[in-house]
Structure 1
């Protein structure tokens, strides 16, 4: 005699495999996205320390958001290296770089790259 009730089926436990797959994919994604660019080192001397005495004429490059000035005289970036060259006796004479008026770091790097490409070896960054 049957009461019309079906026998109870054993309860299925949920599978953790899809969740583990998702966690693994997220882990791989964040590992790949964490190191997307290359780190670059810019060789600059720290200013303000007691070192060797200054020799020669001043070589102060003020870097603004739009303009670059050598010793207070606005100079186009393309002509900056040619303007600094008569003020130095040797390529290892220091050239002082100073960011002004909220100049972006990329602007400072562009100026230092232009001077380094022209052969100036000692670029000193000051506040």
Structure 2
């Protein structure tokens, strides 16, 4: 006598619960890791010719940023004095200030200068390329 067993094929379905748990954990992680602050921007024009087609008028207003310091029309002076001198060189408050950075200046130094000028009420700046 031969005994046969009948085997039922039980089809096991994979559980989606662990995968859903992982997805929710990743979602929570990325939500907590994300920055919700708004980035500050500084408006800068590439050249003064993009501001208007009118020629440059008035006294020179060239601010040089070097590794040694900040110069206004070639004269080295503190940044606070530069922001005090610039309005006397401007015919209107909307006149353009030319900013030139030398090659060894970090981007952070340039951004700090532009931020300081904007905070002093002098937002119209144009970057010019330094000739090497």
TM range (shorter): 0.7 to 0.9
Aligned to 1:33: 33
Question: How do 1:72-111 residues align onto structure 2 when only pairs under 5 Å count?
Answer: 72-111=74-113
Aligned to 2:3: none
Taking structure 1 as reference, are residues 48 and 59 closer, same or farther at Cα in structure 2, changes over 3 Å only?
closer
Taking structure 1 as the reference length, the TM-score comes to 0.73
Note the C-alpha offset of 1:81. Answer: 0.7
**Equivalent residue for 1:112, pick from 86, 94, 114:** 114
d(CA) in 1 for partners of 2:55 and 2:94? Answer: 14
Q: Which runs of 5+ in 2 are unaligned?
A: 1-9
Deviations 1:40-61 (A, max 9, x none): 2212223153622000121111
How many equivalent residue pairs? 120
d(CA) in 1 for partners of 2:67 and 2:25? Answer: 43
Taking structure 2 as the reference length, the TM-score comes to 0.71
RMSD, aligned CA: 2.7
SS of alignment partner, residue 49 of structure 2: coil
Question: How do 1:29-68 residues align onto structure 2 when only pairs under 5 Å count?
Answer: 29-47=29-47, 49=49, 51-68=53-70
- Give every structure 1 segment of 4 or more consecutive aligned residues whose post-TM-superposition deviation is greater than 3 Å: 10-16, 34-37
